[in-house]
Amino acid sequence: MRVKVCGNTAIETAMAAVEAGADMVGFIMAPGTPRTVTVEQAREIVRRLPATVDTVGVFVDRPVAEVAQVAAEAGFTVVQLHGRETWAEFAELPYPTIKALRLEDASTAASIDWPPMGLVLADTHAAGMLGGTGQTFPWQWVADLAMRHRLVVSGGLSSENVGAAVVAIQPWGVDASSRLESSPGVKDADLVRAFVAAARRAEEEVMAVA
């Protein structure tokens, strides 16, 4: 299972995530959030991380060419899309691509236009927000989605509830951001470490009964 810590703005907490056992660290490249970083800021952090860790650039409704250029300049290895992007537009993007789905109800999960076994991130819908809501959704909404796609569960996850999500859904990955902060945009290293550790404990529990 992949463990992702998103919304990184500092090398210290990005490294805390990696040292705790996270596989993926994310960077918000969309304007207007306290977690937004520039290409230069992202590149400076990425270049200091181990090559074994995936670095994820998060974009909202940007042209394919721009996404590819920014990803190359920053050194990202994965791209995440949080807007109205379609597979037809991004199928040729030369990066593994995660499509975010903002869930309003159980039926939303059935509406995604992404190929079978593609990378999908399920997040909670909140009016006026494209992510980082700090709110969970009923995990049974994505049980079927987890069987059809490589599902990353997000939305209000922390060390307190990630274990229950892992056991309930057995997802391809889990992702957290706002619940790991001491203030908006500022990750707390202790919260980051606790989240990764809780996710790994749950993964071991699932594997033990498989």
Cα 51 from Cα 156, distance rounded (Å) = 28
Tokens (6 digits) for 192: 């980051």
Instruction: Find out whether 99 and 112 touch, Cβ atoms under 8 Å.
Output: yes
Which residues partner with 174 through β-bridges? 3, 153
- Where would I find the beta strands (DSSP E) of the chain? 2-5, 24-28, 54-59, 78-81, 97-103, 119-124, 150-153, 173-176, 181-183, 186-187
Instruction: Find out whether 85 and 61 touch, Cβ atoms under 8 Å.
Output: yes
Is 123 considered catalytic here? yes
Cα 171 from Cα 166, distance rounded (Å) = 6
Is 105 considered catalytic here? no
Look up residue 22 and give its DSSP letter: -
Which residues partner with 150 through β-bridges? 119
Of the residues 54, 105, 113, 123, only one is catalytic, namely 123
C-alpha torsion sign, points 63, 69, 73, 78? positive
Task: Give Cα 7 to chain centroid, integer Å.
Answer: 9
Q: Known catalytic residues?
A: 6, 123
